[in-house]
Amino acid sequence: MAVVSSFMMNVCSDPLWPSSRAGARLTVDLDAIAFNYRYLQTLVAGASCAAVVKADAYGLGIERVAPVLERSGAKEFFVAHVDEGIRLRSVVSAKVRITVLHGPRPDAAAECVQYGLRPVLNSLDQIAVWRSQSVRAGKPLEAVLQVDSGMSRFGLSDGDLDVLHEDEMLMDGLKVSLAMSHLACADAPEHPANGAQRQQMLKMSARLPSAPLSLSASSGIFLGPDYHLDVVRPGAALYGIAPNQTGPNPLSAVVRLQAHVLQIREILPGEGVGYGMTYRPDRPRKIATVAVGYADGFSRHGSGQGCAWFEDISLPILGRVSMDSLIVDISDVPEGRLKADMMVDLIGPRRSVDDVAEAAGTIGYEVLTSLGHRFCREYVGNAETSQKGD
């Protein structure tokens, strides 16, 4: 069973939940993020453990998450875009190294230098852009070289490496401080692509200037020491997403999503529920309309799938998820125990982000990064508790 922080385990016994102008509350446990980072550090004792905080720290707020990770020991951070790196630079110390995965776009290369951002060079064109920037700066500039070890997404090909070997001037002005690649099937530990990509990455990196190596992100860490190399780059694992489906999730849950009940009603057999009336009960049911919908990142693909929870009672989701609401079956809740304006758990102690993803036919990454900004957000743990914007 996944490790769950203490605030996740507490079920509020007071029927009068704190009032909010928002329809739902998203609670982010900063202590759980710190726990997950330190746990991953112990797994990769021979390697450096970076932290990936792209997409606003997977939707949880980079300004609140990144300082916690730095205090927990993270000295290297990865983001996707230059503007994310600039935003991150303002909330971490000057000694932190920030790497931009998508590399230096021509009109943003100067800002990489200005804000001390290290780009990942994925193509010969990006190498040329960064080399030109080093000429303007009048000094060698630090960079990461990525090789395509088989995923066909980012990175230099074998042909690109041939071009670099034919003209060594193409690398003038570059200080290569890391060579990296990315695993396509790391969440499937037995997949043969994992070993093949590792071998291809080692083969290709041997043709590059000598530098530390990085192959594994979150799931790759759990493939074992052979995949850790010099630097690992966990992202989703920091935020409690299961690294694979082969066993219990060893990571601590980070988020809890609780939504207000807006209305309670009783329906008779055959009465339609929600858009399209796709659900019609075969016996009398008691239902509740809850203030979360697909505009809040709770996918419409989860219509009629999964459940919410009230205390220890499962509340099946009925019919289609609407933009601002969804409907759950509360027939099993004892009379008078759940009332309008009380809250139910959509993500929480008994239903993980990965459970929500499975019901919607997607992955936990998408669920987490899609969670909306209409929630009342509460950050707990790490010696601080604060709220922003109802």
* The pLDDT of residue 386 is above 50: no
pLDDT digits (tens, 9 = 90+) for 200-210: 999 999 999 99
- Of all residues in the chain, what percent carry a pLDDT higher than 90? 88
Segment 180-206 shows an average pLDDT of 98
Angle of the 82-89 helix axis to the 62-71 helix axis, nearest 10 = 60
- Of all residues in the chain, what percent carry a pLDDT higher than 70? 93
Per-residue pLDDT at 143: 98
What is the rounded (10 degree) CA torsion for 309, 313, 314, 318?
Answer: -90
Q: Is-contact 42 228, C-beta < 8 A?
A: no
Residue 190: pLDDT band with limits 50, 70, 90: very high
Rounded CA gap, 208 and 181, in Å?
13
Q: Which two tokens stand for residue 231?
A: 């630097």
Per-residue pLDDT at 253: 97
Residue 113: pLDDT band with limits 50, 70, 90: very high
Residue 2: pLDDT band with limits 50, 70, 90: very low
Per-residue pLDDT at 389: 41
Lowest mean pLDDT among 16-20, 72-76, 134-138: 16-20
Per-residue pLDDT at 239: 98
Segment 155-182 shows an average pLDDT of 96
Q: Which of 139, 203, 275, 339 is catalytic?
A: 275
Listing DSSP states for 319-334 in one string gives S---SS-EEEE-TTSP
Amino acid type, 105: R
Q: Residue 292: which region, alpha, beta or left (left: phi > 0; alpha: psi -120 to 50)?
A: beta
Segment 231-258 shows an average pLDDT of 96
Interstrand relation of 231-232 and 313-318 (parallel, antiparallel or unpaired): unpaired
Residue 8: pLDDT band with limits 50, 70, 90: very low
Q: Which of 37, 54, 227, 239 is catalytic?
A: 54
Segment 57-75 shows an average pLDDT of 97
Tell me whether residue 275 is one of the annotated catalytic residues: yes
Q: Which two tokens stand for residue 35?
A: 């726990």
* The pLDDT of residue 85 is above 90: yes
Lowest mean pLDDT among 10-19, 248-257, 306-315: 10-19
Q: Is-contact 32 240, C-beta < 8 A?
A: yes
Instruction: Return the closest-CA partner of residue 33 out of 58, 57, 68.
Output: 68
9 versus 74: the higher-pLDDT residue is 74
Residue 14: pLDDT band with limits 50, 70, 90: very low
E strands of the chain, at which residues? 24-29, 48-49, 51-52, 76-79, 97-100, 117-121, 141-146, 174-180, 213-214, 231-232, 255-267, 285-290, 307-310, 313-318, 326-329, 343-347, 376-380, 386-388
- Average pLDDT of the chain? 92
Tell me whether residue 54 is one of the annotated catalytic residues: yes
* The pLDDT of residue 16 is above 70: no
Per-residue pLDDT at 356: 94
Q: Write down the pTM of the prediction.
A: 0.91
Segment 321-326 shows an average pLDDT of 96
Residues 6+ apart with CB under 8 A from 13: none
* The pLDDT of residue 189 is above 50: yes
18 versus 183: the higher-pLDDT residue is 183
* The pLDDT of residue 50 is above 60: yes
